[in-house]
A and B are shown apart, each in its own frame.
Chain A
């Protein structure tokens, strides 16, 4: 269910502006990899290149290779739509479909993928909501609109929606930055459970969060405003936070800049 990501020589552009420069890294399956770094360093852009969401932004363009096990996501003949069905994504602000019920939100991805019988859909929706630790809170109101839930519940609904299609990889773009501390804790616990089944990549501005949830941490930085972001180093989370090999990383995590 989980695949390894192997990125080499990746550049991403917005029109003429180069947003990230020559990034290479490996993301291990069934683990959590956190991206940290100051604003504008390209970590979100890089995350969005991993499921080909970067190119839906007008002017968005990518060079380089992203291997998912032995398939290049940017190879010729690869359908970006199929990539996004394999690599799921959770966004910064919870974005359930406002016109759909809780049930339909979770079932949305399945319905895109083909015909399912009602009973199959029910099973998958229940399993996904349980997987997102939301089932007990919503099981009595599955046909109510998803936009009626609290922010933290909405975000778990989005996670349920993303895992319902059983992706290989789950990308999370600052999934807790719009949530209160209790909801954040619920999501962090959930991430710990989900890594048993999925390869997880999470972008976060919260270094304690990176330290709490991730196995490996990648630090991104940019030379100056307007310059492309670069990967400074990636290592075991424990090492990054105790004894990083690059001075800039230590300066960042000890709060000396950023």
Chain B
């Protein structure tokens, strides 16, 4: 507020004509309205076209399937008696993605916190660049590295896991090549690390100074500040970041196809080779499939699409449910 005795008055420009009548709509407004409305409509049309195409081909495939599309543990989409189902693919996709999330999210949150709140500035930005660089590596390169380096080096770890945790069934391992869903999960974890890290880091950096000072002034240590102010504020951001990563993990194709040794079996042991994912199955079968075989693969693609939608919807629900407690309303 300016209470000075000499208020400054800005010289106002002289009125042009004094008249306020004129055309209500200017051409620039009209063009921009047309462009933005057109883009919006085009997006909806493209989405509808994709959905219609997927649904049409999927209906052809599922009605031609001589077995249950959801429970069959086989993929045989040729001949007069085609029998195929997505059970193995759904299992493999979800398991490898869950393993990837369990590994990647804690590590990513840790790295993001280190960069945003612990590392000295000189170390923080180079580290951020290196993490972002991981995102620039093509997925086929990850696949090759996974197949040629990760697989041979993991057998030792898997043997050790088998010795101590083999009794759980999940971690039993019978000395084959480690081309398993768990290996895929580890590889996917590395691949989604950069996106989860950089989104989380951005969110943590946006925590308002006053929230952190509120905790500091109560006598909170650095970790307590993070627990009281930073993590609650960043919570929904970390969930969004994880969902972005999960989206990539669910749909990842080349790296999985390169590493996994596929089979149409559901194996409780995640360390033994076998299993498959939607994207990997489509990539390895599509080029040799006839028209009906393609329909079958498209149907599996539609299921992957629906799963991804459900996962994202669930994440939105989680975020919305805690909205009134979110930092956004402060």
Contacts and interface: CB of A to CB of B under 8 A. Distances in A.
A165 B327 contact: no
B125 interface: no
Contact of A82 (B219, B235, B324, B325): B219
A93 B211 CA distance: 10
A163 B115 CA distance: 34
Contacts of B327: 98-99
Contacts of B218: 84-85, 88, 108-109, 112, 161-162, 165
12 contacts: A53-B213, A81-B220, A82-B219, A83-B219, A95-B208, A95-B211, A99-B322, A108-B218, A147-B325, A147-B329, A165-B219, A255-B3
B210 A98 contact: no
A95 B330 CA distance: 8
B42 interface: no
A95 B210 contact: yes
A109 B213 contact: no
A182 interface: no
B236 to A, nearest CB: 10
Interface in B204-229: 208, 210-211, 213-221, 224, 228-229
Nearest to A104: B228
A165 B218 CA distance: 8
Contacts of A83: 219
B263 interface: no
Nearest to A85: B219
Contacts of B216: 53, 56, 84
Nearest to A51: B217
Contacts of B215: 97, 108
Contact of B224 (A91, A112, A255): A112
A41 interface: no
A101 B324 CA distance: 10
Interface string B175-210: 000000000000000000000000000000000101
Contacts of A158: 214
Contact of A145 (B211, B228, B235, B325): B325
Contacts of A37: none
Given A91-B210, A145-B324, A98 B217 contact: no
Given A99-B326, A112-B224, A147-B330, A53 B229 contact: no
A99 B217 contact: no
A165 B219 CA distance: 10
How many A residues are at the interface, by size bracket? 20 to 34
A148 B219 contact: no
Interface of B: 3, 208, 210-211, 213-221, 224, 228-229, 232-233, 235, 322, 324-327, 329-330
A160 interface: no
B107 to A, nearest CB: 24
A113 interface: yes
A89 interface: yes
A228 interface: no
Contact of B217 (A84, A93, A148): A84
Contacts of A84: 216-220
Interface string A117-149: 000000000000000000000000000010110
A158 B211 CA distance: 12
A98 B329 contact: yes
Nearest to B219: A85
B219 A98 contact: no
Contact of A91 (B217, B233, B322, B325): B217
Max chain A Cβ within 10 angstroms of own Cβ: one of B214, B216, B219, B329: B219
B213 A98 contact: no
A152 interface: no
Contacts of B232: 97-100
B329 A91 contact: no
